[in-house]
Every structure is written in C-alpha cells, then in structure tokens.
Amino acid sequence: MDLVDNRYVADYYALLDKKAIIPEKLTDVFKVAFAPSGSILVSDSILMRVFGRLRRMERICKADAGTKSLQFFALSDAFSLLHQKGVPVYYYNRIGKLKNGYQYSESEERRMKEGLSFPLMYRDIDKYETELKDIFGELYSREYIEEIGRIPQVIKVGSVYEHENYQSKLINVDDGKRVTLYQPADHTRSIHVYGRCGVFGYAVEDRDTLPSLLQKELIDNGITDVKVINHGLWGGEDEYLDHNFLQEAIGMKQGDIVLFYRMHFDKRLLAEFIKRGVRYKELTEEWHARKNEAVSFFDRPGHMNADGYKLVAKLICEDLMRTDLTCGEAEECESPITADNLNYYLKSQADDDLEEEVGKYINNINRDFPLQDNLQNNGAIVMNCNPFTYGHRYLIETAAAQVDRLYIFVVEEDRSFFRFEDRLEMVRRGTEDLNNVVIVPSGKFIISAYTFPEYFMKDYVKEKSFDVSMDVRTFCRYIAPPLNIRKRFAGEEPFDPVTGNYNENMARILPEYGMEFVEIPRLSLDGERVINATRVRELLKEKNTDELREYVPSGTLEVLMSKYY
C-alpha cells in the first residue's frame, strides 16, 4: 500500500505553520508559482527538477513527506493508546552541545571542530591514537579499539529493523537486540528503550551501554522487578526506530514503560505528543553541570564514552524515580481513541512479496502435516486461547466432527496476557486425543499486527466495527486453497463486539470464495454461566484454583500453575 496520503502531508506541515503544495503535473506550475513564500513543495523526482528553480520553496520528495507525516500521526495515536493502557512514555532529548559559554577542554573543542567521530578515527587508529587514549583512558589498546568498532549491520527481518546477531567479548547481539547486562532473573515489567547509536552503544561494550547502565542504576535504587530492553539501532534512521516502535506498541501491557533517547522533534510536533501523556525532559544542561574530566566524547557530546553514558543513566534514573514510573497528564486521552492513523500505518506495511511469503508459510505447514488424497474437506479455526478453556475444547471437538482435517491457527502475535509459547502448549495438551486436529502458529498473515492490528487494541479504542476485510481476504486467497479448507468455524460471540464484528464479516466474505462459515454456540456451565477467558484470567489473579478447574482442562491448569500462579 502506498504510504503517501496528501491529507497527512497537508495536516503535518500545517502543524509546522507551513503550507504543503503537492503538484501532480506540469500544469500545476501556476499553483506553485503564486504560492505564498515559505510554502513546501512536495513532489516526485521529475517534478522536483522542474520546480527546482522556485528557490524560495523547500523541495521535499513526496514519498519521504508521506512517510514522515503518516508516522507522526501514527505515533500520536500510539502514545494515546499507551496512555489509556497505563504505559508511561518518557522522551529524553539526546545530549547536545551547550553553547552558553561552556568551557570544553582543548581536545574536546578540537574533536568537535574537526568532526572526529569514532568511525572516522577507527579507519586510522594509529593517526588518532592520542585522541582515542584521551577518550578511552586505561581501556585503550589497538586491539580493544578494533574489537569495539565491529558493529553488526542493521537489516530488516520480517516487519522490523534490527542488528544482525553477533557474539564477541565486548559486543553481543541476540535476537536482533544488543544484550543488556544486570537484568534481574525475575521481572514483572519492562522498560523498552528506543534510540540510535546512543542507545545501542556508541563505541562502548555491553556493560556500558545506556540500557545496561540504566538497569544497574534502577537495581541500585531498589527497583528490582524491571527488565530494561535495548531497542537501539546504530546506523538506523529515525524512520526505522519509529517503525519498530509502532509495530511493537500495540502489544505493550500495563506495567511496561517506553523510553526514547534521541534527537528531539520540532517543538510544535513535540507539543502534540505531550498532550498525549508523553513526559519530555531536556538533559543537556544538567549533564554538563555534572560533567567531570572522566566524562568525554568524540565529535559531539551525544557521542560519548562510558563515563558519559553512566551520567546519562543516572540522570534518567533520577527522573524515573521522581515521577514514580507513571504516565504524564494527557489532554487528548480523556475518552477512548479511534487509532485510525496507527491502524492505517500498520496495514500499509504490506510486503511486496506477500504471495511468496505466504507460500513459504504454507509449505512449512504441508511439510509438517502432509495432505493426503482423503483430506479434501478440511476446516479451520483461528484462536487466541488466552488461555485455553473447556469452551475452546468444545468448539474444536464440534468442528472436528464435521471435516476431514481441522487446522487450529493459534494467534502467534505475542501481545496477549499469556505468552504465545504457553498458549500453543495449552492447545496442544487440550487436543492431543483428537486425531484429525493439527495445531499451527498463525504466522503474520492471520489476526496479526500486519492484517488486523485493531484486534490488539479492542479494549481501548472507540470504534468497534473495524475493517477486517484484509485479514479475512488474505486467508481466503492465499491460505485456505492450498490446504483444502472449505469451512471456517468460530464460536458465537455475545460479549466482545470486535470478535462479533469479525464473525459477521467472515459470514459475508467467505461465501465469495466458495467457503462456508459455521458459528457454533458457546458452551455453558450449569446452563447459565458461559465459559469466558476473561473470567478465567480473573480467577487466576484471585488464585481461585477450585473454580478454575471448572473452566479449564487439566493441561491448561498445569501450565497456569507452573508459570503464572
């Protein structure tokens, strides 16, 4: 899907007190020529050259402007969503140069003037030995500098940008994220730290990255139930960081904390974020006021040594303690939100190779569960199972009796109360006696942040009649045919309007593709109580084991008792 939407571009630049003029053809030269001074010219490459003679205008590539604009409004939605979830968002401006007569050392002044960044000095270590010794102190050796400069590349994996996995004595990247040290063995919440090189760790080892040092500061201050996660990208663009955050924000839960450490937005844009509960703090002056000789930097204060990051971590920890890890006040979050911009952005991230990616997904299923000639009338159920109950068991057992093979697609997005691996295990234990049932992960093509992001926001957004056609049609076009799926089953949904809306759309869309939709009434207890996963989660919090046994099979109870009780 094309990210460019003229409405987003115009609204974005209006916040900056600029007018966006978007010429689409050469005859628009008159519209541009008579535009007010200071207008923004947003255009494609050929038109940019044609209109380039209008030098009083700022020329921006239309695609870049569209992406930037949409991301801004999606971020605004995400911050509102997180505020309603009770997830605090902190935004710390990356340390910059202090211009109010601050006295830097001669070597610091020289490095700033000559732009002696670490990558530049890394290319000729011997030439810059004096400067590197000044920054690294007793850690300096040629071997150390060579090792600390081996930074793995930023690549796109699936729908997110991350560093390639890498292991060494000083730098380790696991599952795309730099390793954070000092993490507690047990934790109940997480701090997700986003930024560029200042978060990943600019020429410092694992123990001295900002996330690692912040983790240590928190523990030293008695906060031992929080795990800090490094989402930093060295070499990644701000666009990549925002993209990753938007992909991950909808799965964050109450108790989590989001922390940005990066260059600030325009103050007019930042004001919109603050209205949505974002806590903003400028640290530059405070950092300089407490800076000592051990605190040094390369070509700018933001690119600092380990002592510099230690001071940043201390300042941030002090601020977190002062605000008690709570959300800021929000003018724009008093009522439920629509999250339309966030949903539009997430759905716009369609892969160019969608059909090829789905093909690989189907091939993996057929490899594990080969289709036989007698498996022509198959069915499917998509389940979150949060957790797996007797109601899910009843639905599966009823559906399995009507088809040759029943595929259970367990929602793979890890954005629910129970982890995906545990939900999958509960379903497997609860259906192991049903011979024609196979359990598979849903991948990123069925009820995912890519096809149906609204599903993971349903408790917080105003609108309940979401457009689910992309999710349902992707299933009908690419997943059902190669698996011989002729029926799709779902449980009757009297409580959740989002799931009810999803069922209504399946009933409407599936017949267009020659498939049957079958809605099965819910199982009730004593003819009165309908089995509901929400009630099960409440009983779990109450540790009401006796009543839990009435709602969940023994396999589910074993998982709950061992991992969540």
Of the listed ranges 185-194, 325-334, 345-354, 370-379, the least confidently predicted one is 345-354
**What confidence category does residue 89 fall into, taking pLDDT thresholds of 50, 70 and 90?**
very high
DSSP 521: P
Write down the mean pLDDT value for the chain: 86
**What confidence category does residue 525 fall into, taking pLDDT thresholds of 50, 70 and 90?**
confident
Confidence (pLDDT) at 168 = 95
User: What does the alpha-carbon distance between residue 264 and residue 489 come to, in Å, rounded to a whole number?
Assistant: 49
CA-closest candidate to residue 478, choices 436, 513, 448, 437: 513
Distances (CA, A) of 78 to 251, 346, 369: 11, 11, 39
Residue 523's SS3 state is: coil
Confidence (pLDDT) at 40 = 62
Cis bond before residue 387 (omega within 30° of 0): yes
Confidence (pLDDT) at 47 = 58
Q: What is the set of domains in the chain, with CATH numbers? A: 6-70 (no CATH), 87-151+176-323 (3.40.50), 350-563 (3.40.50.620)
- Asked if 505 and 471 count as a contact pair (C-beta separation under 8 A), the reply is no
- Asked if 437 and 383 count as a contact pair (C-beta separation under 8 A), the reply is no
pLDDT at 120 over 90: yes
pLDDT at 497 over 80: no
pLDDT tens sequence across 258-271: 999 998 788 899 99
Of the listed ranges 81-95, 325-339, 510-524, the least confidently predicted one is 325-339
- Asked if 391 and 531 count as a contact pair (C-beta separation under 8 A), the reply is yes
pLDDT at 430 over 70: yes
User: What does the alpha-carbon distance between residue 78 and residue 70 come to, in Å, rounded to a whole number?
Assistant: 12
User: What does the alpha-carbon distance between residue 141 and residue 128 come to, in Å, rounded to a whole number?
Assistant: 12
- Please give the average per-residue pLDDT across 21-33, as a whole number: 62
Residue 383's SS3 state is: strand
Global pTM? 0.75
Distances (CA, A) of 177 to 233, 303, 318, 516: 9, 20, 25, 43
The more confident residue out of 220 and 467 is 220
Q: Which amino acid is at 27?
A: T
Q: Which amino acid is at 399?
A: A
User: What does the alpha-carbon distance between residue 147 and residue 269 come to, in Å, rounded to a whole number?
Assistant: 40
Counts of helices then strands in the chain (DSSP H, E): 23, 19
Max Cα distance, the chain (Å): 83
